[in-house]
Amino acid sequence: MSTIRLGAEVPTLKVYRKLEEEYFSFVEQQILNKLSPHILFHPDRREGAILRIRSELGLLVKKLHSMIPGAEIVWDDDKGVRARVGPEYKGYQLVLVDPVDGGNSQLSKNGTNVSSNLSIIYKNGDGSYNYSLNVASFPFSGNRAVNFDGKVYLLPFEISDELNIETNDIEDYRLNPRKDRDNPSDLRIAELYEVFPGLGESDPMRKGLDELRGILNGPMVRPEGSGTVTLLSLILGTRDIVVYKRRNGSPIKDYDYIGPRQMIRDLGGKFTPLSGNDEHGLEPMDGIIAASTVNNYNMFMEYINSRK
């Protein structure tokens, strides 16, 4: 396993290519093998599958520390406990990893809506952050969303060997900003906004979503599996609005949203917690309101606020 150097003098595409060769190709193969349909459709094989794959991928995540000297590697281990390897001081590269996003819920539904995510973040001396590289891999669809230098690309697995840093042919796979919708009824919405039974009428967002459902030109979808896959539907053009809130109020962890947040914002969208504040750190969030464009976000919130 070779060493990956980080820094302003190293092209980000070169860093991505090394991660692709040394990390993602292995992770993707493990997911395809361990979570394949012939395993998921047999209950006797399904039990413990997610634990085994998290344990095996956890070993590879630890090797990232050797691959990227000086970086702190942060992930949840196979028991769901936050683990970290590397330095703990300001002014260093932080690598935030989620080897299998969506695995637990998808195993119970025989689904393959999972992703593998990695973000390289520079923690400045003043406590602020620069997001240098975000990658979300979708093993079962055969592509990766890659974000750096304010641009977002959707790269099929099979074109990896064709990418050339000098010729810049990666631009052929660059995604463009999405379009504004004309009316609230045109919005394509995915929502998993959970409240305790009987409290929907007292919750403005839940009440507004229920009323909006009645005027939409299409169905309001309930997402399952990987939150990354659902959030990135905003940049892929299949959704305009995504709303998340867990019924028990448990926070949404940073590795669940950092990459998608930056990709959505870099493509002209908006991504906020339920408070509506434009947060930029790594703090857990109470929920998510995300939109493919700022205008779509504003139109959605104006409708929700009008129903209070």
| Dihedrals phi, psi of 82, to nearest 5 degrees | -65, 125
Please enumerate in sequence order all residues whose Cβ is within 8 A of that of 66, keeping only pairs 6 or more positions apart, or say none.
1, 3
pLDDT of the residue at 90: 47
| Dihedrals phi, psi of 83, to nearest 5 degrees | -125, 155
Q: Render pLDDT for 266-308 as a digit per residue (tens, 0 to 9).
A: 999 999 998 888 877 788 888 999 999 999 999 999 999 998 7
* Separation of alpha carbons 152 and 14, rounded Å: 16
- Minimum mean pLDDT range among 12-16, 210-214, 273-277, 289-293: 12-16
Q: Looking at the domain covering 12-173, what would its CATH class be?
A: alpha beta
Q: What tokens appear for 95 in the block?
A: 């690598």
Assessment of whether the complete model's pTM goes beyond 0.85: yes
* Separation of alpha carbons 140 and 138, rounded Å: 6
Three-state SS letters, the chain: CCCCCCCCCCCHHHHHHHHHHHHHHHHHHHHHHHCCHHHHCCHHHHCCHHHHHHHHHHHHHHHHHHHCCCCEEEEECCCCCEEEECCCCCCEEEEEEEEEECHHHHHCCCCCCCEEEEEEEEECCCCCEEEEEEEEEECCCCEEEEEECCEEEEEEHHHHHHCCCCCCHHHHHECCCCCCCCCHHHCCEEEEECCCCCCHHHCHHHHHHHHHHCCCCCCCECCCCCHHHHHCHHHHCCCCEEEEECCCCCCECHHHCHHHHHHHHHCCCEEECCCCCCCCCCCCECCEEEECCHHHHHHHHHHHHHCC
Strand duo 115-123 + 270-272: pairing? unpaired
Query: Residue 120 forms beta bridges with which residues?
Result: 95, 133
Where along the chain do its domains lie? 12-173, 184-306
* Separation of alpha carbons 301 and 273, rounded Å: 13
Find the mean pLDDT for residues 131-148.
Answer: 92
Q: Between the ranges 29-33, 91-95, 267-271, where is the mean pLDDT highest?
A: 267-271
pLDDT at 177 over 90: yes
Q: What tokens appear for 217 in the block?
A: 């030109």
Does residue 50 or residue 136 have the better pLDDT? 136
pLDDT of the residue at 189: 97
The total number of residues written for the chain in this structure? 308
pLDDT at 219 over 50: yes
C-beta of residue 261 within 8 angstroms of C-beta of residue 130: no
Residue 181 class from Cβ within 10 Å (0-12 exposed, 13-18 middle, 19+ buried)?
buried
The third-level CATH classification (topology) of the domain covering 184-306 is: D-Maltodextrin-Binding Protein; domain 2 (3.40.190)
